[in-house]
Amino acid sequence: MRLDDLIFSQGFGVRRLCAGLIAAGRVAVDGKVRTDPATPIDVTAPGLTFSVEGTPWPYQPRAYLMLHKPAGYECSQRPSAWPSVLSLLPAPLRQRPTSGKVAGVQPVGRLDQDTTGLLLLSDDGAFLHRMSSPKRHVPKVYEAQTRHPLDERQLARLREGVVLNDDPRPVRAADCAALDSHRLSLTLTEGKYHQVKRMVAAVGNRVETLHRARIGGLVLPADLAPGQWRWLGARELELLVGDSGVG
């Protein structure tokens, strides 16, 4: 792959801008400055890294990320009342070219602006579909702080299924347990609008705060602070989609 095509594919601007950065000596590959935009680069080489204006960057054919979503952000490119979670990412991730109309990484599903926790993002359409499709039944674990004390009757109803006002079919938790008198762990395999909040309301309680702790086999790392993101490694992708891989 030409160096300017590589830089373009990683979200550093249109090809003309990428060529200009290279010609100006602002791009290095594996620590060596390159000034010819047509320099061939072996993108299959393991651990390929480059830097733009001194900032190191790993070459990633597809972007797979996790983000610890803080409260006060919307999972949308066009937020209405709150800033977008995408504003927490560096510009190259927001500008990665894709085959569709919208460039950059996209959230897998949505979390409400006041919900915190594990959020996946990618520019791989197949991965986005696989992880968000209701047919896949990917388990997601939420931790909810409730206004009123929890009791076994409420937990039993959540396991057995409750009817929400927009669907006559009961929705149930795949697993449900009280963590303490006012804290609940709830596992869901489908994603309806405000589902956790509405399910808890249906059994006579109210969600005060909501946090997503796990998706599939991937647990939000304890050392990933709110607002921080990181690349997903091969083992983490396996925990999400299995040994068959992605893409």
3-state secondary structure the chain: CEHHHHHHHCCCCCHHHHHHHHHCCCEEECCEECCCCCCECCCCCCCCEEEECCEEEECCCCCEEEEEECCCCECCCCCCCCCEHHHHCCHHHHHCCCCCCCCCCEECCCCCCCEEEEEEEECCHHHHHHHHCHHHCCCEEEEEEECCCCCHHHHHHHHHCEEECCEEEEECCCEEEEEECCEEEEEECCCCCCHHHHHHHHCCCCEEEEEEEEECCEECCCCCCCCCEEECCHHHHHHHHCCCCCC
112 a catalytic residue: yes
CA atoms of 157 and 139, how far apart (whole Å): 19
Enter the tokens of residue 12: 């550093």
CA angle 84, 245, 52 (to 5 degrees): 50
Which of the following is catalytic: 112, 123, 124, 243? 112
First to last CA, the chain: 20
Structural tokens at position 222: 């304890």
Amino acid symbol at 6? L
Q: Which residues are catalytic?
A: 112
